[in-house]
Structure 1
Amino acid sequence: MTFHRIVAHLRSFDDRIAVLCSLAPSANVMAADSVAEDLRRVTYAQLATLVEEFAAELGPTRRLVALAARNDLASLVGYLGALSAGCVVLLTAAVTDELERTYDPDVVIADGRPDVRRETSAHTLHPDLALLLSTSGSTGSPKLVRLSSANLLANAAAIAEYLAIGPDDRASTTLPMFYCYGLSVVHSYLLRGASLLLTERSVLDDAFWDEFRACRATSFAAVPYTIDLLDRIGFSDMALPDLRYVTQAGGRLAPERVREYARLGADSGWDFFVMYGQTEATARMAYLPPDLAAEHPDCIGVPVPGGEFSLEPIEDTGGHERGVDLGGHGNTETPHELVYHGPNVMLGYATCPADLALGRTVTALHTGDLARRTPEGLYQVIGRRSRFAKIFGLRIDLQRLETGLTAAGFTVCCTDDDELLVVAVESPATDPTDTAAQLAGLPIASVRVCPVEELPRLPSGKPDYPAVRTLSAPAPQTRDIRALYATALGLDPALIRPDSTFVDLGGNSLTYVTTAARVERALGKLPTDWPTMTIAELDRIPHGGSRFGRTLDTGTLLRAAAIVLIVSSHIGLYVLWGAAHVLLGVAGFNFARFAVTAAPRAERLRHALRTVALIAVPTAVWVAVTLLFTDYYRWQNVLLLNKILGPFDSDTAGHLWFIEVLVYFMVAAALLTRIPPVDALERREPFWFAMGLLVITALLRFQPFGLYPAPDVPFSPLAAWFFALGWAAAKATSGWQRLLVSAVLLACVPGYFDAPDRERLVMAGLLVLIWLPAIRVPALVAMAAAILADSSLFAYLLHWQVYPLFGQHHVAALLASLLAGVAATRMLAEVRRRCEVPQRWAVSLRSGLPSFRSGLDGPDLRRRLARQFR
């Protein structure tokens, strides 16, 4: 039996293309013609045959079918085939143990293959029931929305009507099929005989857009998170000649963003539809006509065809005083809840198998949103009835708080853990604690801010609030990694959270070595990617390691070996040149790891310039001190500008060349990645961006344009390509990428110095950097290398004044120079620690002392505050 019209009329569209899907989902970016050839085309007649065959395989018995859906042809055929067989489909991302225990499906479909658990159903299934979806796009939840065939057909018809979907339209699937929004695209397009480009690619993937253009797709669906991703890839500059419209739903998009995309669409020849819906309404309840989006970007629009809204007053319990005027319209009347009526309203909820026998238990959908109707007849959501937290006896409107923090420039999700307000903030440039406390009217101590690289999200792209709540929980076990970071980085432990990483906290190449050694001692072994692992992840690593050796970062080993070679060669103990250029590569490698991160541009720049200051300031101070007693250096050396201003022929002109050019490279790289288009390009293609820099700077290796005499070129700013090569090595994540970087190295170094021994050393050192992330060495070697690498800057800086004191005693001169570097490094660390203690106290006091609004008191408040500060 055919269960509803969406399936019944497939064959009526005959030879029209129903589905296009990739034959090579992992293929790299190709030309449009190649992409088009690599797609399978399935006509409606062929799809109908596949669906009929699948339905016949299931048989005529009506059963509960759990389907783990992907955006592929097998899942689509399985879904439509189960409906065609008259079954009830439980559509989900994965058939979890909890779903299986709760609902005990008769058939489970995964990867397009049915696993028949029983020939007849163990459940009583209501005749109207067709589909079960998890609420709000969550996966694995035992609370399901019960939808009928009539619900699906009514919503698909309404969407197809207001979007004017025709047979020539083609939608690319940007959202998962198990999510009601993504599924509504499938329903509405199949209903009108249009076609679907089935893909699981992200909009961040160039291949997605290659397929989009090759297939001449006309639309795609977006949630707010998708819009954020589009900004990263420069969507506004893309050429998409066949794009007819973009739809947005799945959460509120900030009004300024609605206006921005509405204008972008108007300028580019496509429409931007803002839509409003819930799973409980099958998908859509309202849409904002594109011609009204720029003028009314804060509205959800008008009801979909066949539906209508009513505004029902809710009882004011005294807790909505912060939620009534969320739209800023001065509306202080009793708040109204938005209620939807229409044929797409669900039958009801299911929480157990017995509920599957129920008919309609819901006639109107109470959305939980507070709303108003504008004079223009548009509906506007101004708050969320259920998104309130109660902290210290105060009702906090979490939606309003998120809106306020977003307006202040933060990307956040807000929830509570019964006693504290929990704010997850994505890659913050500044601390939002004060702003959150002020907006919520709470003491600062009751706000827990959890910085994250990316906000937790459900597969639908919506915020995952339960996951946000868990961010505030302490790590299950601790080995003082937090205190270790606080000591190594000079931070207040109270400001370091379980989801913090070494990179997030401003770690750089100068603090890396010491911190790595301490982390390894704490864990017994050092994961190669520890700088980007959170404290919580490090805490969960079981203690391991071996007393016979330690894992040493290759960059650390090269820094240690290089400083010994450099100082020894200058002293005359032996002569083996080239280590300084290896260090330039290591510097670029570390810059890419610690300064070119996922952090916002401003934060990236601050981290990079802080690292530069830790190099430049001590150097300038030391040079200035020497000027008081000798004429060893000149004022150009104090400013680190000798390589630019000269003099180029003094006895000491080349002594600080390495530090000078390193500072130039780091400042230039930091400023370059601060430019928005450059930043966007680097984030989109980190390896190819680095390779582009390498190719551009390598031109100076072959054509120095007469800027420096030929012998001076390798020791001038024109050696920037070594820094760029290290950057590219850090961003190379595959074997072929490392081969490409190695090829550039082997092509550029020979002949550069006109000194084969030097060239061989440089190539060997940089090849080790490219191919070996870490090396296992004896514990004693690891300890010595860590100390030498940590003090390499000061050893380089001071050895010029130290080794002449020892005359021909070359070994003593070497040891004295290295020890001087170690001593200076330790002394500077102690000075920094002493200077930062008062600052940490100030931060602690500022973070911990409560700020009260008038009228907030009482035993409950005092008791909670006492527990906070105990």
Structure 2
Amino acid sequence: MTVVLPPPRGSVAAAHAVVPFARDLARHGDRLAVVDGAERWTYRELAQRVGATAVRLGSGRKLVLVGAGNDATSLVTYLAALAAGHVALLAPPAQADTVAAAYDPDAVLLPGGRLDVRRDGSAHELHPDLALLMPTSGSTGAPKLARLSHENVQANAESIVSFLGIRDTDRAVTTLPMHYVYGLSVVNTHLLRGAAVVLTDLSVADACFWDLFRAEGATTLAGVPLTFDLLDRVGFAGMRLPRLRYVTQAGGRLDPAHVRRYAELGRRGGWDLVVMYGQTEATARMAYLPPSLAADHPSAVGVPIPGGSFTLAPAPEATSPDVGELVYHGPNVMLGYATSPADLALGRTVTALHTGDLARRTGGLYEIVGRRSRFVKIAGLRVDLDHVEAALTRPGVVVRCTGTDGDLLVAVDGAEPAAVREEIAGRFGLPVRAVTAAAVTVAETPRLASGKVDHPALGALVRAAASASAPAAAPDAAGPLPERLRSLYADLLGRPGATLDSTFTGLGGDSLSYVEVSIRLEDELGAVPANWHVTPIRELAAAPAVATRGRWRIRRVETGVALRALAIVGVVGTHAGLFTLLGGAHVLVAAAGFGFARFRLTAADRVTRLRQQAVSVARIVVPSVAWIGGVVLLTDQYGPLNVLLLNGLFGPPSWTSDWHFWFVEVLVYILVVLAALLAVPFVDRLERRFPFAFPVVLLGAGLLGRYEVVDLGVPHTMPVFWLFAFGWAAARASAWWQRAGLTVVLAATVPGFFGNSPRELAIVAGAALLVWVATVPCPAPLHRVVGALAGGSLYIYLTHWQVYPRLVDVHPALAVVASLSAGVALWWLAGVVSGLGARWRAGRTAAGTVAGRV
């Protein structure tokens, strides 16, 4: 039985036209509609929330501004406006204030999700057909909005559902923002059909996106050309996505070679590639390329969508008789543009859409061959080059623009090119890395015989003038021994009372501190023995030094240290989209188990062991809670569960940004549980009696969680205790047959863990190194760098979530370097603070002793 909720009391739906699919959400009943983090709403629940928001909007027809993020509140407010007959104005959140100042909306969805209804009615005359206002080139060029009608929105959604064959069992994960018409069409079409939408702001370059994609059983993926570049980086071709049915592409021309390659990938993987063509002025789509034709006609945009048609109009710019301006006709063509609030009263001023694109028709398929007007597409957005020039040119400063899709080229005279790049990014919402600016004297601007600017030549001039440089660095020093080593231990471990008979483990050293200590020891000794961590300082100082001369001499670095450095670089580099090296976090889990066995399970008595384990947990928990708490105070990115490191136990089941710190949480859970287990005298004796068999048994128990035979109670971490236990067993393996057995177990159990062969291979390779290789060679100049990265790995992991997103649009490499540097700097600062605290405590103790004697 179909259930349709009536228009909410107090709404204007009964008096004005509405968008049918937004009004009739409840007819899909208890099917899953929306997933947003922990929120999972059926269509009935979504309809109730939409109805409640429509009531809040009131009875007078209004202009409703939504700074549209990919979140449930934005979606509900947008749908409430469409369902109740209001006019929705969608804008990027960063530009909502600018749009509000220009259009004076009657209701605004404020940051944080509060709906501010400013008037009972509207300050504007709103045409009865008007339903939706979408930024077109106005978001990055001339200040225009496309005026879309109820029929435009409904008709285009129905057409897309038809040619894509969207099913009510489909599930789409958002890859594009809702304020971008392509991203909005993904939402509209799935809601029209009764399918589910998973809302997220995660990038396809983020491994967490793919965890979410698999966990939610997503069936469709939408992308602009930049998306496909990122897919190449993250190893999409090797991913196993069994529920994926089709991949769509729009937002600019995708290179024909890419079209062919992804069409072939889809053929092998059992999914379709659907290349589409559209503009905001046509609500979303105008054409699509049937998947069966993609490999043979990769340059074509295809055929008109159902209900639409094309004609070719004469164009002076056409270079051949069969080329003309592409003109689109259909029920999804906008009413017209709005450049001011007065235009909201206008009816239809456009009957056919002149796209500005030059095209030809061959064999029934349309192919875009050029552009009439000066627009380029950057990150899927149309940029009006003339408007950018006019906006940036002022007395004493002249700017000229040219470019191609994905690359805006700017010639600057009278200003600093870097400042112009930043201004373009800030004013027009473009990624800085997509803007190439250079100081080029405008008087020398190349021109055609007609006197017009020669834009191809100007572009070549800008590219040639753009340049960069890099600085260098300086060396450090050294000096004599036993007391120096004692001082080194005292400073780095915060133990001023260290003596020449102290050992690293005896002073409470753990896997977080052994990196820097071992690196500094190698600086002093040239090389350190395999058992240095249990060797008294006096004996280390007496050992013969290993000569290591020459700038490019090779040093040996402990495998655990090298893996930690490589893994954290892999994690940050992959998240920032610089390259793809998945599996780093899971290698770190194995390395943590390896370090736990070496440094926490010493010959000390049970109580001392427990005290040292508590210190180790605190060294993870304290900086983690401090950092996450600081982020929560300054932003709304996380919540109390993150601060308390309890998200893994009580957080949302779906993968969201709340899961950023899963690695830290799981490591803390493991260490706390093991501390409790080893506090039992019988278990403590058992571990000492069977140092290798004990972790092997735990490895077997962990595999029950890995294969989901038992539920470990920590969702979405793909339970990793077995990898920790593996690292523990690797540290205890002394015979070749023990190492061989562990390697066989590793090779047999990691494949299938993610469904991503390169990622699994990286985990196998990294963990196997722990088993078989004690140290690895490292060029001396990189020795300290590796040590700093490994030692600061926890701090890098904590801080990189707040660093790289702010710089990745400048350049992924800068984002990675900044993330690593910030984490290492914070690690160094924490060490300084810890050392000062230790000295202060030592001073207090000494003062107390003296006072007691007096």
TM-score (norm: length of structure 1): 0.52
For residues 176 and 341 of structure 2, the distance between their equivalents in structure 1, rounded to whole angstroms, comes to: 28
For residues 567 and 141 of structure 1, the distance between their equivalents in structure 2, rounded to whole angstroms, comes to: 72
> SS of 1:190's equivalent?
helix
For residues 247 and 426 of structure 2, the distance between their equivalents in structure 1, rounded to whole angstroms, comes to: 21
Change (3 A) 1:117 1:344: same
Change (3 A) 1:772 1:686: farther
Would the aligned equivalents of 1:158 and 1:305 in 2 still touch at CA under 8 Å? yes
Q: How far 1:73 sits from its partner (Å)?
A: 1.6
1:306 maps to 2:368: no
| Alignment-derived partner of residue 464 in structure 1 | 430
| Alignment-derived partner of residue 109 in structure 2 | 109
Q: How far 1:333 sits from its partner (Å)?
A: 3.7
- Candidates 379, 399, 403, aligned match of 2:366: 379
The size of the alignment, in residue pairs, is 538
- Candidates 654, 674, 686, aligned match of 2:547: 654
1:512 maps to 2:405: no
Q: How far 1:4 sits from its partner (Å)?
A: 2.0
Q: How far 1:213 sits from its partner (Å)?
A: 1.8
1:728 maps to 2:790: yes
Q: How far 1:214 sits from its partner (Å)?
A: 2.2
| Alignment-derived partner of residue 8 in structure 1 | 23
Residue by residue over 1:689-729, the C-alpha shift from the partner in whole angstroms, topping out at 9 and shown as x without a partner, is 995997899999999999xxxxxx99994999987443323
For residues 369 and 82 of structure 2, the distance between their equivalents in structure 1, rounded to whole angstroms, comes to: 38
For residues 113 and 101 of structure 1, the distance between their equivalents in structure 2, rounded to whole angstroms, comes to: 18
For residues 723 and 468 of structure 1, the distance between their equivalents in structure 2, rounded to whole angstroms, comes to: 31
Change (3 A) 1:150 1:565: farther
Q: Aligned runs of 1:814-853 on 2, under 5 Å?
A: none
Query: What amino acid sits opposite 2:126 in the alignment?
Result: L
> SS of 2:132's equivalent?
strand
1:364 maps to 2:363: no
For residues 731 and 454 of structure 1, the distance between their equivalents in structure 2, rounded to whole angstroms, comes to: 31
1:20 maps to 2:35: yes
Would the aligned equivalents of 1:135 and 1:144 in 2 still touch at CA under 8 Å? yes
Q: Aligned runs of 1:545-624 on 2, under 5 Å?
A: 559-560=476-477, 563-565=478-480, 585=519
TM-score (norm: length of structure 2): 0.53
Q: How far 1:248 sits from its partner (Å)?
A: 0.9
Q: How far 1:112 sits from its partner (Å)?
A: 3.6
Q: Aligned runs of 1:666-681 on 2, under 5 Å?
A: none
1:198 maps to 2:159: no
For residues 158 and 453 of structure 1, the distance between their equivalents in structure 2, rounded to whole angstroms, comes to: 40
Query: What amino acid sits opposite 1:98 in the alignment?
Result: T
| Alignment-derived partner of residue 348 in structure 1 | 336
Query: What amino acid sits opposite 1:344 in the alignment?
Result: N
> SS of 2:285's equivalent?
coil
> SS of 2:100's equivalent?
helix
Q: How far 1:102 sits from its partner (Å)?
A: 1.6
For residues 588 and 363 of structure 1, the distance between their equivalents in structure 2, rounded to whole angstroms, comes to: 77
Query: What amino acid sits opposite 1:207 in the alignment?
Result: C
Change (3 A) 1:456 1:337: same
- Candidates 820, 828, 844, aligned match of 1:771: 828
Change (3 A) 1:495 1:733: farther
Would the aligned equivalents of 1:138 and 1:458 in 2 still touch at CA under 8 Å? no
Would the aligned equivalents of 1:106 and 1:122 in 2 still touch at CA under 8 Å? yes
For residues 199 and 48 of structure 1, the distance between their equivalents in structure 2, rounded to whole angstroms, comes to: 21
Q: How far 1:775 sits from its partner (Å)?
A: 7.4
> SS of 1:286's equivalent?
strand
Would the aligned equivalents of 1:98 and 1:142 in 2 still touch at CA under 8 Å? no
For residues 457 and 162 of structure 1, the distance between their equivalents in structure 2, rounded to whole angstroms, comes to: 36
For residues 703 and 414 of structure 1, the distance between their equivalents in structure 2, rounded to whole angstroms, comes to: 68
| Alignment-derived partner of residue 250 in structure 2 | 249
For residues 346 and 19 of structure 2, the distance between their equivalents in structure 1, rounded to whole angstroms, comes to: 20
Residue by residue over 1:85-124, the C-alpha shift from the partner in whole angstroms, topping out at 9 and shown as x without a partner, is 2111111122633322221111111244321212121110
For residues 153 and 202 of structure 1, the distance between their equivalents in structure 2, rounded to whole angstroms, comes to: 29
| Alignment-derived partner of residue 153 in structure 1 | 154
For residues 463 and 302 of structure 2, the distance between their equivalents in structure 1, rounded to whole angstroms, comes to: 43
| Alignment-derived partner of residue 741 in structure 2 | none
| Alignment-derived partner of residue 686 in structure 2 | none
Cα RMSD of the aligned pairs, angstroms, is: 5.5
Residue by residue over 1:28-57, the C-alpha shift from the partner in whole angstroms, topping out at 9 and shown as x without a partner, is xxxxxxxxxxxx321111111111111112
Would the aligned equivalents of 1:425 and 1:451 in 2 still touch at CA under 8 Å? no
Query: What amino acid sits opposite 2:473 in the alignment?
Result: Y
Q: How far 1:281 sits from its partner (Å)?
A: 0.4
Q: How far 1:654 sits from its partner (Å)?
A: 2.4
Change (3 A) 1:732 1:369: farther
Q: How far 1:200 sits from its partner (Å)?
A: 2.0
Q: Which has the higher contact order (CA 8 A, sep 6+)?
A: 2
Q: Aligned runs of 1:219-234 on 2, under 5 Å?
A: 219-234=220-235
| Alignment-derived partner of residue 81 in structure 1 | 80
The percent identity for this pair of structures is 44
Would the aligned equivalents of 1:697 and 1:724 in 2 still touch at CA under 8 Å? no
Change (3 A) 1:61 1:289: same
For residues 78 and 188 of structure 1, the distance between their equivalents in structure 2, rounded to whole angstroms, comes to: 17
For residues 47 and 399 of structure 1, the distance between their equivalents in structure 2, rounded to whole angstroms, comes to: 35
| Alignment-derived partner of residue 237 in structure 1 | 238
Change (3 A) 1:689 1:451: farther
Would the aligned equivalents of 2:20 and 2:83 in 1 still touch at CA under 8 Å? no
User: For structure 2, which runs of at least 5 residues remain unmatched after alignment?
Assistant: 1-11, 381-387, 441-461, 486-499, 505-514, 524-543, 596-726, 737-772, 801-822, 834-854
Residue by residue over 1:798-825, the C-alpha shift from the partner in whole angstroms, topping out at 9 and shown as x without a partner, is xxxxxxxxxxxxxxxxxxxxxxxxxxxx
